[in-house]
Amino acid sequence: MPSPVSISEARRDLRRQLLQARRAVDDTQRDQLRQSSERLARQHVWLRRASRVAAYLSLPSEAPTDRLLDTLYGLGKQVFLPRVVGRRMYFVPYVPGARMQAHRLGMTQPHGPRLTALQLLDVVILPLVGFDRLGNRMGLGGGFYDRCFSSRLRSSHWPRPRLIGLAFEAQAVDRLPVEPHDVPLDAVITEQGITPFRRSR
């Protein structure tokens, strides 16, 4: 079994490679992902039936969420965005045009009342650095989403929210080095469509 040190080193090296691959994605692929996510917001059963959906405001190198957010809001969904306070992450309501606050980590985030329970969300769209074909996700390393949804790892029955990554195909690998605290995805959306995963590690 690989040691914790070797797993950490492998993840660090792989994260660097995947960040480079994400930055290298061209405008055509970005537009394809915008179209794919917008289409799935209208057509895929998980998103079509969802009433409350959380997503994120994408940074320049991340999978874009601009059209996805507009589509979800236009479809009458209650849309939420993450707000980071210290080492914790919460979700607050999103309204287009609302005032945003700059965060030291580089993103902007909304003001507003916190969602009282994660189970009130039907779907969460997550950013990521990389993913594998088993549904494992690699983030930037801050652990905010893993901490937020850590109870999923202790539950044999997790009805909602569905956790869906948003990424480019260039961010896919066959197998990620996984740590015990990593929370897996239910599916990933790329420019090629949506891929669901079985809930196993």
Taking only the tens place, the pLDDT of each residue in 161-173 is 999 999 999 999 9
Instruction: List Cα–Cα distances, 155 to 62, 151, 183, in angstroms.
Output: 30, 7, 12
Mean pLDDT computed over 26-34: 97
Q: Give, in degrees to the nearest 5, the angle at Cα 117 between 166 and 136.
A: 30
- Averaged confidence pLDDT in the chain: 90
Query: What percent of the chain clears pLDDT 90, i.e. is strictly above it?
Result: 67
**Which residues carry a binding-site annotation?**
11-15, 57, 62, 137-145
**Which residues carry a binding-site annotation for ATP?**
11-15, 137-145
Tell me the pLDDT band of 4, cut-offs 50, 70 and 90: low
Instruction: List Cα–Cα distances, 113 to 69, 88, 117, 127, in angstroms.
Output: 19, 15, 12, 22
**Which residues carry a binding-site annotation for substrate?**
57, 62
Q: What is the CATH number of domain 4-196?
A: 3.40.50.10420
Q: What residue spans define the domains of the chain?
A: 4-196
**Residue 199: count of CB within 10 angstroms of its CB:** 13
Q: How far apart are CA 18 and CA 84, in angstroms?
A: 24
pTM score above 0.85: yes
Bond prior to 161 in cis (omega within 30° of 0): yes
Residue 103 vs residue 29, higher pLDDT? 29
Distant-in-sequence, close-in-space partners of 141: CB < 8 Å, separation ≥ 6: 15
Q: What is the pLDDT of residue 139?
A: 92
